[in-house]
A and B are shown apart, each in its own frame.
Chain A
């Protein structure tokens, strides 16, 4: 066996291990998972005061919808407030916010631009609510989401944060449909991580926290522009449980161009790498069990796997092109030098790695189908899955490679947008 073959088998083995770990977790909790399908809205007898902070930076086109969706939440009006913080917008966001200046449930603030984490922290400093959350101004929340999440806070005193399921809002092009597939799969993964007590991110859209948590471990930090990841890492370090509420849906806008998606994902992956480096002390420590032995290593494995396979693919592609160019320069073009497809079963690759790869894809399909059902986006398979696999297998290596390169070359954090 050659060194590249050994590396390939190692990468595929680890990727398979991660997927099987999630699958075993699912079957461990399958009864609980089945109940989620028709989970009723919990009967709540205690309504803690809730503040939802909306950090705004140039969000003139979406901020109304965001605030409106919060005000439409099924929750006692006197127990819910909106804190909109204009983080030095240069467009007409502030003018739009001024329409709420006399609203009894909305408070508006304007500050100099300091980054998203400063806007949220500003909101935290200006509220006495028991439960505090944020909602990015490009997201909309389902009316029953809050009451479901409060139900978890009321029944699970160890829950210090509750995260929602994210659904891509109103996809219009193939790229956005592909992202919807990814978000659906992410809901399944997030739920599994929640069951393992090992969530590594409290997403900006509508994650809720107990107020005391900020007093206990501090507020948001800049954290390489991934403050929602860093806070989750800090919570895990302090053994503060994060629970995922599957049926609390938040609809979020997704990048509609490859360039925007690239910028977003570069920021996320770079943030993951940097936060993992910053919190490397949590890796392989018995006291942090699943977060330490599964979540962080599986994130690292996925990056290494994609980067390695991308390099192998590019190497093979370059060799192929060189071969064809050489062939052309020596012998000119001939039909025999063109690529041809042979449909004889004999030529189907039956090496071990092929079978393992097929099984790996089936496991991924299971995650996608389960996630799609959890997100109530249908019963499972949709042709968008193919678009997701095709698009992401082509473009994901680029932001992963760039994030790794930025880390190695110490290029600094990517921009927000």
Chain B
């Protein structure tokens, strides 16, 4: 090939390679969205099953409750949504999935509270409200604290909510627990703490039943903290 013809042809080939790579990226990201949806469906089914089981248990003993409630996939779902927030170019569908995930979290939270009340179990729950690091500088640090807390006390159930998410469920939670606009906020066993709470202070607030080593609930039912600090996991 003479002159600049080859330069033009190679330019076309390079552009074609990039276009193919772009299509591949879209294809695989769509597959991932589908996978998230599948996990979401599984979690929904699990929670529904747990709720039904719980209704049945109203008339029965509490001996086997630990093995029945809480879907183990909800943690996987949280991980995958966080990953998608970082790596997917199109966030529209993911945002919707995140809203659905928040609703599932709330259902899980309510179910936990019902089990706790019905079976007289001391299950400590934390609702954690965060925002992205641009509008909440302390949220990253708070995420670290909750990660560490979860690591030390696997029985604690932490539910993380993006307070800026356009979700009526989250708005209802913010209103019920009087969460201020100054994030982060933590609701520990129904008591709201606005602003950053250090690990030491948080430990002091924990009930004795949690800090005592023999009273921890199984790790399999634990949720991982999802916040800006853990998005890169």
Chain A residues within 8 Å of B, Cβ to Cβ? 13, 16-17, 20-21, 24-25, 28, 289, 293-294, 323, 326-327, 330-332, 334-337, 340, 342, 346-347, 349-356, 359
Chain A residues with CB under 8 A of B83? 346-347
Q: Which of A323, A326, A342, A356 contacts B18 (CB 8 A)?
A: A356
Pick 5 A–B contacts, CB within 8 A, sort by A.
A327-B147, A327-B229, A331-B145, A355-B21, A355-B24
* CB atoms of A336 and B150 under 8 A apart: yes
* CB atoms of B13 and A28 under 8 A apart: no
Chain A residues with CB under 8 A of B89? 351
Chain B residues with CB under 8 A of A28? 1, 6
* CB atoms of A21 and B148 under 8 A apart: no
A301 to B97, CA, bound (A): 42
A17 to B14, CA, bound (A): 6
A13 to B17, CA, bound (A): 10
CB of A32 to closest CB in B, whole Å: 15
A324 to B4, CA, bound (A): 51
A352 to B18, CA, bound (A): 8
Q: Which of B25, B144, B145 contacts A355 (CB 8 A)?
A: B25
Chain B residues with CB under 8 A of A349? 87
* CB atoms of B199 and A331 under 8 A apart: yes
* CB atoms of A334 and B151 under 8 A apart: yes
* CB atoms of B151 and A336 under 8 A apart: yes
Chain A residues with CB under 8 A of B150? 336
A213 to B80, CA, bound (A): 66
Q: Which of B25, B79, B148, B199 contacts A352 (CB 8 A)?
A: B25
Chain B residues with CB under 8 A of A336? 147-148, 150-151, 224
Closest A-B pairs by Cβ, 5 of them: A331-B148, A355-B21, A350-B28, A334-B151, A331-B144
Chain A residues with CB under 8 A of B79? 342
Minimum CB distance partner of A324 in chain B: B144
Known A340-B233, A351-B25; judge A334-B10 contact (CB<8 A). Answer: no
Chain B residues with CB under 8 A of A294? 7
* CB atoms of A331 and B10 under 8 A apart: no
Chain B residues with CB under 8 A of A350? 24-25, 28-29, 32, 87
CB of B42 to closest CB in A, whole Å: 14
Chain A residues with CB under 8 A of B10? 17, 20-21, 24
Chain A residues with CB under 8 A of B44? none
A149 to B233, CA, bound (A): 58
Minimum CB distance partner of B30 in chain A: A350
Whether B175 is near chain A, meaning CB under 8 Å from some CB there, is no
A336 to B144, CA, bound (A): 9
A17 to B17, CA, bound (A): 10
* CB atoms of B25 and A337 under 8 A apart: no
A146 to B157, CA, bound (A): 78
A16 to B145, CA, bound (A): 44
Whether B9 is near chain A, meaning CB under 8 Å from some CB there, is yes
Chain A residues with CB under 8 A of B7? 21, 293-294
* CB atoms of B148 and A356 under 8 A apart: no
Chain B residues with CB under 8 A of A13? 14, 18
CB of B79 to closest CB in A, whole Å: 8
CB of A116 to closest CB in B, whole Å: 36
Minimum CB distance partner of A339 in chain B: B233
Chain B residues with CB under 8 A of A25? 6
A322 to B229, CA, bound (A): 13
CB of B163 to closest CB in A, whole Å: 21
Chain A residues with CB under 8 A of B29? 350
* CB atoms of B147 and A24 under 8 A apart: no
Minimum CB distance partner of B24 in chain A: A355
Given contacts A16-B14, A294-B7, 4 further A-B contacts (CB under 8 A): A327-B147, A327-B229, A330-B144, A356-B21
Known A346-B83, A355-B21; judge A335-B145 contact (CB<8 A). Answer: no
Minimum CB distance partner of B14 in chain A: A17
Whether B213 is near chain A, meaning CB under 8 Å from some CB there, is no
Whether B35 is near chain A, meaning CB under 8 Å from some CB there, is yes
Q: Which of B1-51 contact A (CB under 8 A)?
A: 1, 3-4, 6-7, 9-11, 13-14, 17-18, 20-22, 24-25, 28-29, 32, 35
Whether B152 is near chain A, meaning CB under 8 Å from some CB there, is yes
Minimum CB distance partner of A9 in chain B: B18
* CB atoms of A359 and B87 under 8 A apart: no
The interface centre, meaning the residue of A289, A331, A334, A352 with most chain B CB atoms within 10 A of its CB, is A331
The interface centre, meaning the residue of B22, B28, B79, B83 with most chain A CB atoms within 10 A of its CB, is B28
CB of B197 to closest CB in A, whole Å: 11
Whether B102 is near chain A, meaning CB under 8 Å from some CB there, is no
* CB atoms of B233 and A332 under 8 A apart: no
CB of B206 to closest CB in A, whole Å: 15
Q: Which of A331, A335, A351 contacts B87 (CB 8 A)?
A: A351
Chain A residues with CB under 8 A of B24? 350, 352, 355
* CB atoms of A346 and B87 under 8 A apart: no
Q: Which of B169-207 contact A (CB under 8 A)?
A: 198-199
A390 to B198, CA, bound (A): 42
Whether B124 is near chain A, meaning CB under 8 Å from some CB there, is no
Chain B residues with CB under 8 A of A21? 6-7, 10
Whether B221 is near chain A, meaning CB under 8 Å from some CB there, is no
* CB atoms of A24 and B151 under 8 A apart: no
A353 to B10, CA, bound (A): 19
A9 to B179, CA, bound (A): 42
* CB atoms of A337 and B21 under 8 A apart: no
A351 to B22, CA, bound (A): 8
A356 to B3, CA, bound (A): 28
A323 to B229, CA, bound (A): 9
* CB atoms of B148 and A337 under 8 A apart: yes
